Structure 1
Amino acid sequence: MEKALASWSGEPVEVVWRPYQIDPSAPVRAVPMSEMLQDPVADEALRACAPGLSPAENRARVADVAAAEGLGEQWGSGWRAGTLEAHRLIALAYEKGGAELQERVVERILHAHFVDVQDISDLAVLTSIAAATGLAEEAGYTGEPALETLPGAEHVRELLLVGKAKGVRTSPTIVANGLALEGAQPPETLREFLEDAARHTPRRLPAEVERLRHAESLLDQRDPLGALTLLRPLLAEHGDDRGVRLLAARAYFASAQLNRARTTLESLVAESPDDSYARHLLGRTLQRQGRHEEAASHLTLAAVMTPDYA
């Protein structure tokens, strides 16, 4: 990306880093990468990433590429580390100092992980990075345990959910003006992508509508708890909106929060008795609660209004 932008003559580009967890199941306490590489499941996955090469051979190949780019002789993570706290630091850097400060923090974190073989889940390592990049001063804190008291974990989790809702499936994924490009790409491809993005004018939706659509996308991806996380502020600010409440009811049902689903659906049906979908879902909710007689009346009425529900 840096090489692509070095020869870019179009509109100014601001690079903002958003979170994505390649290994969301990584332990809170980091373990040596050598232990993970001995896992048969990990070995199979890594072989799929580099057909024809063993994990060790592929790591050596990547290290050679990194050395040729001037990133140092040693290259390769030494720890399987949880990254939530590092993503919090990166998000905080953008909030406090914009893209320039965030870029410095990201550079330090990547260097610590891939070159210095440090554990980036260690708060002491992240606190040192915050101090060295000027983030600690911008954020107005000093000393240990600085990061433990910082806000931002929920914000990062929400950013992760938004990325999932948008269809981000791998890292890196470059997003510009609503277009996306997956995977590691050469500078020429990135420049062509930026040229396409510069010509593209995405449709701008109100923030509330966009959040609702993201929540619906997560529900379609069978992540009802993620959908409810994104719906939380909408329920607080627009709790009387029928669309918000119906989507919440669907998420409650899908996550087996049946009492909440029933309460929400009962109010929706009382307001609009001819809403066959709400009535059908209420019937199914009551069915799952073992209230079969109550369920039958709603399911029968829903089927009369919409035969597909029969």
Structure 2
Amino acid sequence: MAAMRIEIWADVVCAWAYIGKRRLEKALAGWDGPPVEVAWRPFRIDPTAPPRATPLEELYRDPMVDDALRACAPHLTPAQNRVRVSAVAAAEGLGPRWGAAWRADSGDAHRLIALAGETGGAPLQDAVAERVLKAHWIDAADIGDPAVLAAVARDAGFAEGPALLATGAGRALVAERLLTGKARGVRTSPTLVAHGRALAGAQAPEAVRGFLADAAAHPPRPVPAEVERLRLAESLLTARDPLGALTLLRPLLDEHGGDRGVRLLAARAYYASAQLNRARATLERLVADHPDDSYARHLLGRTLHRQNDAGAARHLTLAAAMTPALG
């Protein structure tokens, strides 16, 4: 029986990610369903963190930061919320010391976790994720420091990890996975995804077990990887991220550049990102190959109009004649 993949979309600098990991482990300890495979996926709760870590104590003294943190738990002060989270962590067996000391950029930690998965599969990835979380939340280490991540990798049995990080490996992989999470609607760290279903937040083990049972009982119909990628790219375009859509489309353009749907979606993304010359070239070829495609002709007309090209009117008029709703 094929294993059901459980994806944990989380940021290692999110306390609930570590708590959620423990709760998932407790849920799986009593799991009697199909075999599962846990995969870590990146999420960023603080994408503007500086490249060099800064002490969190300094940050907490900033009144603007204090106001922003109140959004996490409106009924508590940020200090009270930290005490609450510490108590929850202790109840999950995390500690005895608990609490981050650094505002660290988690980008390299995400790369290390992703590379561990690519190199050694789920067991190695889980070992690295566990040690990254421990370094940040229990050891109060700076996980933005290459030396700290090197020690984490070695302790997890990922000896080649530091050298891979030093080469910049994993950047494109993490960037693409962040876009994939955005396209799938992941908005919270942690979020569990299994069989296309999502459970947001660090839920209790009983809730996690129920979620997994429901997911296992409703396996999705298999979808070709190329179709899934196309759908994700379209979701990003709908979410007004045309550059992200183009990033996900790149492999499809390389391998299926003649596909009508791929070309049209790329043209829409070029147009939405103001890459008008690329949009025009793509649409002109589409219209030449499919002169009855009223939408492609309409978008070509709009592109030419933005370029102040007199040829716009002819395409807009023909598109409206073929499909009046485009008029």
TM range (shorter): over 0.9
More strand by share: 2
Q: Percent identity?
A: 67
Give the C-alpha shift of residue 309 in structure 1. Answer: 1.8
Give the C-alpha shift of residue 146 in structure 1. Answer: 5.3
User: Residue 18 of structure 1: SS of its match in structure 2?
Assistant: strand
Q: What value does the CA root-mean-square deviation take over the aligned residues?
A: 1.6
Indicate whether 1:132 and 2:149 are aligned: no
Query: Which residue number corresponds to residue 52 of structure 2?
Result: 29
Distance 1:42 1:8 in 2: 41
Residues 40 and 274 (structure 1), Cα distance of their counterparts in 2 relative to 1, 3 Å cut: farther
The structure, 1 or 2, with the larger RCO (C-alpha pairs under 8 Å, 6+ apart) is 2
- 1:175-229 Cα offsets, whole Å, 9 max, x none, are 1112111111001101111111110120111111111111001100001001000
Mean Cα displacement is larger for which, 235-244 or 112-121? 112-121
Distance 1:196 1:260 in 2: 45
Give the C-alpha shift of residue 38 in structure 1. Answer: 4.0
Distance 2:164 2:177 in 1: 22
Mean Cα displacement is larger for which, 146-155 or 1-10? 146-155
Query: Which residue number corresponds to residue 154 of structure 1?
Result: 172
Give the C-alpha shift of residue 250 in structure 1. Answer: 0.3
Give the C-alpha shift of residue 34 in structure 1. Answer: 3.0
Distance 2:222 2:62 in 1: 46
Give the C-alpha shift of residue 65 in structure 1. Answer: 2.1
Indicate whether 1:182 and 2:205 are aligned: no
Question: Is the contact between residue 62 and residue 75 of structure 1 (CA under 8 Å) also seen in structure 2?
Answer: no
Indicate whether 1:263 and 2:281 are aligned: yes
Indicate whether 1:296 and 2:313 are aligned: yes
Question: Is the contact between residue 5 and residue 191 of structure 1 (CA under 8 Å) also seen in structure 2?
Answer: yes
Indicate whether 1:98 and 2:124 are aligned: no
Q: Which amino acid aligns with 1:286?
A: L
Query: Which residue number corresponds to residue 206 of structure 1?
Result: 224
Distance 2:94 2:28 in 1: 19
Question: Is the contact between residue 30 and residue 121 of structure 1 (CA under 8 Å) also seen in structure 2?
Answer: yes
Report how many residues are paired.
Answer: 304
Distance 1:212 1:64 in 2: 44
Give the C-alpha shift of residue 156 in structure 1. Answer: 1.0
Residues 309 and 35 (structure 1), Cα distance of their counterparts in 2 relative to 1, 3 Å cut: farther
Structure 2 residue runs without a partner (length 5+): 1-23
- 1:257-307 Cα offsets, whole Å, 9 max, x none, are 11000000011111122211111111111111122x111111111112122
Question: Is the contact between residue 63 and residue 73 of structure 1 (CA under 8 Å) also seen in structure 2?
Answer: no
- 1:210-251 Cα offsets, whole Å, 9 max, x none, are 111110011000010010001101101111111101000000
Task: Give the structure-2-normalised TM-score.
Answer: 0.89
User: Residue 96 of structure 1: SS of its match in structure 2?
Assistant: helix
Query: Which residue number corresponds to residue 278 of structure 1?
Result: 296
Query: Which residue number corresponds to residue 86 of structure 1?
Result: 109
Structure 1 residue runs without a partner (length 5+): none
Indicate whether 1:62 and 2:97 are aligned: no
User: Residue 244 of structure 1: SS of its match in structure 2?
Assistant: helix
Give the 5 Å matches for 1:244-263: 244-263=262-281
Distance 2:186 2:176 in 1: 14
Q: Which amino acid aligns with 2:325?
A: D
Give the 5 Å matches for 1:44-55: 44-55=67-78
Q: Which amino acid aligns with 2:302?
A: R
Distance 1:73 1:57 in 2: 19
User: Residue 15 of structure 1: SS of its match in structure 2?
Assistant: strand
Indicate whether 1:243 and 2:266 are aligned: no
Mean Cα displacement is larger for which, 239-248 or 299-308? 299-308
Question: Is the contact between residue 63 and residue 74 of structure 1 (CA under 8 Å) also seen in structure 2?
Answer: no
Indicate whether 1:305 and 2:322 are aligned: yes
Task: Give the structure-1-normalised TM-score.
Answer: 0.93
Give the C-alpha shift of residue 119 in structure 1. Answer: 1.4
- 1:90-126 Cα offsets, whole Å, 9 max, x none, are 0111112121111111111001111111111111111
Give the C-alpha shift of residue 44 in structure 1. Answer: 3.2
Question: Is the contact between residue 30 and residue 81 of structure 1 (CA under 8 Å) also seen in structure 2?
Answer: yes
